[in-house]
A = this chain, B = another copy of it.
Amino acid sequence: MDQRLSFLTLVVADVEASSRFYVDGLGWTPELHVAGEVLMLRIGERLILSLWARDAAEHEIGPVMSGGTPPVTLAHNLATEAEVDAVIAEAREAGAEIVAEPRAREWGGYSGYFADPDGYRWEIACNPGPIGESVLPG
C-alpha cells in the first residue's frame, strides 16, 4: 500500500451549512455538490475533501462519534506568521469560530485554530524547518 491519501472524508451534520462556510465564506470552488448529501472540494493536486452527510456516511460505515471536538485536525501551512494572521482573519470574516488565536507553539512554530461548522479544527500554521517547509506550495 503506497503512502498516499486520495480522499479525506469528514462526517457533517448539514452539508448546506458546510457549503455556506467553505464555498460562500472561504470562496472555495466545489468539485461536486449533491444538495443535502455530499460536498467535495479539491485540497491537493490529487486529494479531495469530502463533506458527507451523517445519514449517508453512517449508512456506509456505521455509527460514528459525535458531541465534542473531533479527534482530527487539518492544517494549512504558510511561509510566514503574517500570512497565518491574515488567514485567521479571513476565517473569522467567513464566520468561523476562532478557537485559538495565533501564537508561538511549543513545537517551534506559530499557529492558530478555527473550527468549521462541525467543529473540525483547521490549524493555520507557520512551521519552520524541513518538514514544515516541505509542505508549502512549490
Interface residues of A, Cβ cutoff 8 Å to B: 1-11, 26, 28-29, 31-32, 40-49, 57, 60-77, 87, 90-91, 99-100, 105-106, 113, 118, 121, 123-125, 131, 134-138
Contact = CB atoms under 8 A, between A and B. Distances in A.
A22 to B, nearest CB: 9
Contact of A71 (B65, B91, B137): B65
A127 to B, nearest CB: 8
A138 to B, nearest CB: 7
B7 A123 contact: yes
Contacts of A61: 69, 73, 99-100, 113, 121
Contacts of A31: 131
Copies in the complex: 2
A131 B43 contact: no
Given A63-B69, A71-B10, A72-B10, A134 B46 contact: yes
Contacts of A118: 71
A25 to B, nearest CB: 10
Given A66-B71, A70-B72, A131-B48, A60 B105 contact: yes
A13 B90 CA distance: 34
